[in-house]
Amino acid sequence: MTQLSLVTVPEPAQPTGIDLRCCSVDDLLDDLPDKPSLIIADPPWHYAQAPGHSANPDNHYDPMSDRDIAAVLDRAYDTMDRGRLALWCTWPKLDQWYQAKAANGWRWRYVSGGAWTKTGGSSTGFHWLGFSELALLYTKSTGLCTEWGALQNAHTSRRTRHSEKPVEWMAGWIERWTAPGDLVVDLFAGMAPVARACARTGRRYVGAEIDPDRYRQAVDLLAMDAPP
């Protein structure tokens, strides 16, 4: 009997200047090619009160404790001379997050925040349904203010895959807060919308996604997002 070999689709090449890696955050921070101007973090938050159905983050990723997230972001602080940290968070996590970062000797300086309003699909909640998500903005060093231009701290768009953040809004962050050729670091890449935003705006990117299946999906999405 003839055995047929399995045919696998080769991994597509990543766009020029984009370096999405299947690795841990620690490995990424050990091997950055340059000092970043912007760090974006969408951490795997742990929710003690999460319901026991598909909305439970445990069904999608391995959560981290708030203190472990604070420790990672504190380590990331040392990779940068001056710049910004954009941290995705949710309303139920705010008080716990404030306590965790205070206990960790937090060095980033909070300056502002924004919110993404999600349309379409369903949502979960405990006191009301969660149809918005926060982006908290921190800085290292001073003199980072820029003219506001057309960039708003509120964005409305349809939700897509689980936990995937809006590429268009983050592309605006990147254009406003970095210069062409600057390095953007993506600590918890997921489906890598930040990588797509960097490819569209001509910024260098390096990011980490530890899950091999999610990493491969992200690389495929990058290839499909490339201009013809």
> Could you tell me the residue ranges of all domains in the chain?
18-45+62-122+129-225
Q: How far from the centroid of its chain's Cα atoms is residue 24's Cα? A: 14
Measured CA to CA in angstroms, residue 226 lies from 12, 13, 75, 78, 191 at distances of 11, 11, 32, 32, 15
**Residue 74 CB partners (closer than 8 Å, separation 6+):** 104, 105, 106, 107
Query: Which CATH number is associated with domain 18-45+62-122+129-225?
Result: 3.40.50.150
Measured CA to CA in angstroms, residue 12 lies from 82, 126, 222 at distances of 34, 42, 9
**Residue 124 CB partners (closer than 8 Å, separation 6+):** 51, 55, 130
134, 153 Cβ separation under 8 angstroms = no
Give the pLDDT confidence of 29-55 residue by residue, as tens digits: 999 999 999 999 999 998 875 555 445
Report CA Rg, the chain.
18
Please state the pTM of the whole predicted model: 0.90
Give the pLDDT confidence of 127-151 residue by residue, as tens digits: 888 899 999 999 999 878 777 678 8
Location of structure tokens 């309003």:
117
Q: What is the mean pLDDT of residues 75-86?
A: 97
